[in-house]
Amino acid sequence: MIVMKLHAKNLIVPILLLLIIVIVGYSRLPARTDVIADYDPWFFYRISEVLWKNNMKMPEWDLLSFFPPGRPFPKTLGYEYFVVIAYKIQSIFFNMEFMKFATYIPIIMSVMSVIPAYFLGKELSNEWGGLATALFIAMSPTFIVVSMGSYMDTDTVVVFYSLLSIFTIFLAMKKKTIPFIAIAILANMAFIYSWWFGWYITTFFLAYIPGFILFRFIESYLRKGRFSSLGSIINELKPMLTPLLSIIIILNVVMFLLGFGTFVDFILGASGFRSGGESLLVNVSVAELQPINIFTKEGFKQVANRVGEFPILLTLFGIPFFVILKFVKKEPVNFEEIFLFMWAAFTFYTILSGVRFSLLFAIAVATSAGYVIGNIIKYFEGSSVVLKSSVYGLLFFFTFLFLSSTLSFALNVGSMGVGGNWLDMLNWLKANADKDAIVSTWWDPGHIIAGYTGLRVHADGAHCGVAECVPYNHNIRIQDMGKILSTSNETEAVSLLKKYMQLSPEQCQEAKDYYKKTFKIDIPEESCKPASEMYFISSADLIGKYTWLNYFGGYRAPVKTPYDFQKTPGICCASTPKTEEGQVSCGEFASQERGVWVWCPWIFQISNIQKDRDGNNVFIYDYSGIKITIIDKQGSIIPIYNNKYLISKIMLYDQNGQPRLFDISNSSSSLEKIGGLLWVQPDYRVLIYLPPEVENSMFIRTFLFNGQGLEHFKLVYSNPEIKLYKIDFN
């Protein structure tokens, strides 16, 4: 009987771990389609496909990205090799297309992340801490969003290898033997080879050493009223320091010899110095890199919603509780508690640079929360049945609440796949564009275009700084595209597009010399040959992004006084920390002198339809309290902004679906008239206000007006979401 009980007890943990694995896999399935989702995942899919088609050997030069002349293929190919090897293994058992299999990769990686999470949590506390760590990270909302089926980005790599790297380092410090040190080195090498910023793990451990020493000084003073000697602290560290420094030193030497740099390169790169000190302009427009004040109620709530409220509360209160408890008992705080505290604090601080870093914080939170749960269970193990049942019951209840809410969240995330209109357009390009054509549009869809059609793109989301892209780096390209879409001058737009058809002989030689010297690459002659034709995409998603197109293109809507805000429903300006000369800054972060933000209420949703006292239809549109009203008065259209201003022009659609322009700039009215144009959707559900500075821009003319009146933009494909043009340079 005793043996049977022991066996039953030993089965509980494996069964619970298996249950977590099943839940994690199940939670990622709803978003999976047979096509890769979103933007960035297409880059990793395309690189994996190139590797697969090229027999596991990566070419040096990528003609599709940032043409002309292209760019070097990435060196960090660990993720892509994993995808190809996994595909080859499954091919033994199943007959599945490469892309379809790739849509399962995020699910596979999410499930794999459960294993190192469990062992790390178990190493730091016990098996219950391991289970909690695995559950909290695998079902963290910020991880769920970037690991759904079809979302083949590197976030799953970050989570899996972060946990594996930290676990193997702790194991090496504990075992202090060569095999475990070697395993830790290999794990960190694999991380860096899969994601160059994987250097952050050993860099943090290195920074932790002086942090640990400082903590011991403060701790000894608080406990004893005097500082411990440096020698005694070093003696305490020495058993762990030898394997840790061995790992760090050998890792840096080996990766340097393999051409992956050292932790110094990582620090310089993370600080922006590696690219010659020139930051990427596009970063100010990336939503997840917008500054966030995590010390405000709203900022903290935003982070808590991403990470999970229960694990973050366990971290913020549980770790300090155990530290205080040690102080009360006059016991030294252990190595693991100091590490977890510093890890959580450091990753929490990184969120100041944007909520994107909440994923790193989630890993630290999950591990810390697992440690707290493991130690609570251990602490109350010898307590009375009533007390133990109460504490364990509360832990189970709140853990179950966390799981139920995050599982519900995962099952309702929905598909982030490429929409039908985009697929139709991409299929048209694939069937009709010449193989040496180049496609130009805003940078977001570049990965999808290159990955799906195999055509070259003028820019994509694989940021390419001054140290990697010659002669046109990301800053140059994004400013040019901003100008192309913002200018009202077709000749200027065509001139800018033409420069991306081919490099001049001088530019070609400059590129050859630079890449030979810097990357030891002989760029192919094809890089300098002209593109055979150019296509230009104007798409609906750019309506919401137009402020940034305008900003990067240098076309600022004038905001000279606060009065400009009051009388213009769509001023569309991107605010900078320092107000431009003669302008009034706008945006919530400008007053805090941090970052760049957008204030652009130019897209209005219908909120109500009423009748006035004469029985005329009154359509009311609202944007956070800013209102536009359209009165259909016996065939006359009267657009009014905030009951104070009459908007001069409005474009509606007749019964045949044809656009009809109403110009009331010369009508008599007691209301003050303001310029610009209202464009109303045929179903009246949405209207867009176009300020005078915007209404004749190339984007508005190519998207809303189908290129009417343009000479060089020939519409070759159109659907409600996308207008595709072939550029005539003659």
State the DSSP string of 574-601: EE-SSPPTT----STTGGGT-S-EEE--
> Which residues, including other chains, have CB under 8 Å from residue 113's CB and lie 6 or more apart?
24, 137, 138, 156, 159, 160, 163
Q: Looking at per-residue confidence, does 713 or 624 come out higher? A: 713
pLDDT on residue 662? 86
Residue 620, pLDDT > 60, answer yes
pLDDT on residue 534? 97
pLDDT on residue 250? 96
Percent helix, strand, coil in the chain (nearest 5)? 55, 15, 35
Residue 449, pLDDT > 60, answer yes
Tokens of 383: 């307590």
Residues 125 and 374: beta-carbon distance below 8 Å: yes
Tokens of 122: 């178990």
Residue 1, pLDDT > 70, answer no
How far apart, in whole angstroms, are the C-alpha atoms of residue 45 and residue 54?
14
Residues 604 and 621: beta-carbon distance below 8 Å: yes
Among the residue ranges 154-163, 168-177, 296-305, 701-710, the one predicted with the least confidence is: 296-305
Neighbour tally for 187: CB within 10 Å = 24
How far apart, in whole angstroms, are the C-alpha atoms of residue 602 and residue 194?
42
Q: Smallest Cα–Cα separation from 48: which of 119, 123, 102?
A: 102
How far apart, in whole angstroms, are the C-alpha atoms of residue 706 and residue 724?
9
H-assigned helices in 329-383: 335-350, 358-379
Percent of the chain with pLDDT over 90: 53
pLDDT on residue 409? 94
Is 271 buried (19+), middle (13-18) or exposed (0-12) by CB count in 10 A?
exposed
* pLDDT digits 0-9 by tens, 101-147: 999 999 999 999 999 999 999 999 999 999 999 999 999 999 999 99
Is 533 buried (19+), middle (13-18) or exposed (0-12) by CB count in 10 A?
middle
Q: Angle at CA 191, nearest 5°, toward 76 and 173?
A: 150
pLDDT band at 593 (very low <50, low <70, confident <90, very high): very low
* pLDDT digits 0-9 by tens, 146-173: 999 999 999 999 999 999 999 999 999 9
Percent of the chain with pLDDT over 70: 90
Domain boundaries defined on the chain: 154-275, 420-533, 556-599, 603-696
How far apart, in whole angstroms, are the C-alpha atoms of residue 422 and residue 539?
9
pLDDT on residue 573? 54
pLDDT band at 13 (very low <50, low <70, confident <90, very high): very high
Report yes or no on whether pTM surpasses 0.75. yes
Q: Which of 331-340, 582-591, 601-610, 720-729 has the highest mean pLDDT?
A: 720-729
Partner residues linked to 628 by β-bridges: 621, 641
Average pLDDT over residues 212-226: 82
Q: Looking at per-residue confidence, does 611 or 547 come out higher? A: 611
